[in-house]
């Protein structure tokens, strides 16, 4: 019976891991990792924490979200890194070892960050050393980075099935709640009062923060200086929307909405499978050449709308590009995301999502996110 019991345990662990997106696997004893003492130690850390780096308050707000053994770190709206954590036993102060699995700077992937921490009520104090791999001796030691954070209460969300509605700028946003792949999602519409255009929307419950995020499920199509119809053909606007320079994009979303930040794009991609798989979920079921369509299981309906660069139009049907509102740090460039039809042969790129920076003079599609 023991092998059979282990099989059952394995299935249960995988289902739990899938729903929680925690990645827990059975260990050699046939027990779920989530049931081991490490999970008990991690429990006080669970949730979203906001605060500052002591002595560097002007650098912006720090947000750390911890779900099971996954830690996401953001500075203001900018994604910084994602890690998996372990808590070594018997350390004083308590230590946290975080292995970077995704990062704004890809050269840091695989790096282990050694930190000490303490949780006092709703306050988390976290301190990292000088990068030598050694834990700080204490929270007042010299040469460390210390973060003072308070727990943020997540917004309540609606799951399961049912009807709901909310009001935005005088327009009713009717929603139908569905549950798909363990993600509470909803679809709806929004009417832009500036020109009367109605956009489909997709909302989902962020598994990391518990908050509801609403995206336009169509490319923005509001004309402003610096926006272009592909090939300068107005007939392309109905399906593809407009392509915007980065500056034009910043003035294009309606009141109550904003151009998606790099952090919001990162969370969207994470929500729907990560950079290796989200392309399939976020791509639409049409517009992509050579069987490069996605499943659109997210409802996002990403289209292969191409790009305008160097005075011309390119890669319609092959790639879709979207701006973020986030500068990359290099003068004249900003972050963007894109999907591909997949490439020749076995199409190894078909399911992937890509993040890159490019010239702000390029014109790309835009998705707005509700404030």
- DSSP helix/strand/coil, 18: helix
pLDDT at 164 over 60: no
pLDDT band at 208 (very low <50, low <70, confident <90, very high): low
Q: Distance between CA 268 and CA 278 in Å, rounded?
A: 9
Which residues are paired to 51 by β-bridges? Answer: 62, 149
pLDDT digits over 74-124, tens only? 776 566 778 888 888 888 899 988 888 886 655 677 888 889 999 988 889
- DSSP helix/strand/coil, 276: coil
Mean pLDDT for 227-250 is 97
Question: Do 228 and 341 sit in the same domain of this protein?
Answer: yes
Lowest mean pLDDT, pick from 51-65, 97-111, 282-296? 97-111
Q: Distance between CA 319 and CA 317 in Å, rounded?
A: 6
Q: Distance between CA 274 and CA 267 in Å, rounded?
A: 9
Lowest mean pLDDT, pick from 82-86, 295-299, 356-360? 82-86
**276 lies in a domain?**
yes
pLDDT at 11 over 70: no
Q: Which residue did the predictor score with more confidence, 311 or 130?
A: 311
| CA distance between the termini of the chain | 55
Pairing of strands 354-359, 198-205: unpaired
Q: Distance between CA 366 and CA 220 in Å, rounded?
A: 6
Question: Do 309 and 289 sit in the same domain of this protein?
Answer: yes
- DSSP helix/strand/coil, 178: strand
Question: Do 1 and 55 sit in the same domain of this protein?
Answer: no
Q: Examine the fold and report which residue of 106, 127, 152 is the final residue of a domain before the chain moves on.
A: 152
Range of the domain at 252: 218-370
Q: Examine the fold and report which residue of 101, 124, 152 is the final residue of a domain before the chain moves on.
A: 152
Question: Do 363 and 240 sit in the same domain of this protein?
Answer: yes
Question: Do 343 and 252 sit in the same domain of this protein?
Answer: yes
pLDDT at 167 over 60: no
Q: Distance between CA 210 and CA 245 in Å, rounded?
A: 33
Question: Do 227 and 335 sit in the same domain of this protein?
Answer: yes
- Residue 168: what pLDDT? 34
Structure tokens at 133: 């791999």
Question: Do 234 and 328 sit in the same domain of this protein?
Answer: yes
Q: Distance between CA 145 and CA 126 in Å, rounded?
A: 8
Domain containing residue 84: CATH number: 2.40.128.490
Q: Which of 339, 338, 173, 319 is closest to 256 using CA atoms? A: 173
Question: Do 226 and 353 sit in the same domain of this protein?
Answer: yes
**161 lies in a domain?**
no
Region of 189 on the Ramachandran plot (φ > 0 left; ψ -120 to 50 alpha; else beta): beta
pTM over 0.95: no
270 contacts 330 by C-beta, under 8 angstroms: no
Most confident stretch, 55-69, 107-121, 164-178, 318-332: 318-332
Q: Distance between CA 118 and CA 55 in Å, rounded?
A: 19
What lies within 8 Å, CB to CB, of 234 at 6+ separation is: none
Q: Examine the fold and report which residue of 125, 152, 179 is the final residue of a domain before the chain moves on.
A: 152
pLDDT at 34 over 70: no
pLDDT band at 303 (very low <50, low <70, confident <90, very high): very high
Question: Do 254 and 365 sit in the same domain of this protein?
Answer: yes
């Amino acid at each position: 019976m023991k092998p059979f019991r282990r099989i059952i345990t394995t299935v249960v662990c995988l289902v739990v891991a899938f729903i929680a997106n925690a990645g827990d696997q059975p260990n050699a004893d046939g027990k779920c990792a989530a049931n081991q003492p490490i999970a008990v130690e991690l429990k006080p850390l669970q949730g979203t924490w906001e605060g500052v780096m002591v002595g560097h308050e002007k650098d912006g707000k720090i947000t750390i979200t911890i779900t099971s053994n996954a830690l996401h770190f953001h500075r203001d709206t900018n994604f910084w890194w994602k890690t998996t954590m372990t808590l070594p036993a018997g350390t004083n102060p308590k230590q946290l070892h975080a292995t970077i699995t995704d990062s704004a700077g890809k050269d840091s992937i695989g790096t282990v960050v050694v930190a000490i921490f303490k949780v006092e009520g709703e306050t988390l104090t976290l301190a990292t050393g000088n990068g030598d791999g050694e834990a700080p001796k204490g929270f007042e030691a010299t040469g460390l980075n210390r973060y003072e954070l308070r727990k943020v209460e997540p917004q309540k969300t609606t799951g399961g099935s049912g009807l709901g509605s909310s009001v935005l700028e005088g327009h009713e946003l009717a929603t139908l709640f569905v549950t798909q792949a363990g993600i509470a999602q909803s679809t709806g519409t929004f009417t832009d009062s500036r020109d009367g255009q109605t956009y489909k929307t997709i909302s989902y419950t962020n598994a990391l923060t518990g908050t509801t995020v609403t995206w336009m499920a169509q490319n923005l199509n509001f004309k402003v200086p610096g926006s272009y119809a592909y090939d300068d053909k107005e007939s392309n606007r109905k399906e593809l929307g407009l392509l915007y320079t980065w500056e034009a994009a910043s003035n294009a979303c309606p009141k109550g909405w904003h151009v998606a930040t790099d952090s919001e794009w990162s969370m969207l991609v994470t929500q729907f499978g990560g950079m290796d798989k989200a392309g399939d979920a976020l791509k639409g079921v049409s517009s992509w050449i050579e069987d490069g369509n996605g499943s659109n299981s997210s409802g996002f309906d990403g289209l292969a709308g191409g790009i305008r660069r160097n005075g011309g139009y390119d890669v319609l049907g092959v790639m879709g590009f979207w701006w973020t509102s986030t500068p990359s740090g290099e003068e004249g460039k900003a972050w963007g995301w894109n999907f591909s039809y997949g490439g020749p042969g076995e199409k190894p790129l078909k399911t992937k999502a890509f993040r890159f920076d490019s010239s702000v003079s390029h014109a790309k599609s835009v998705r707005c996110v509700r404030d």
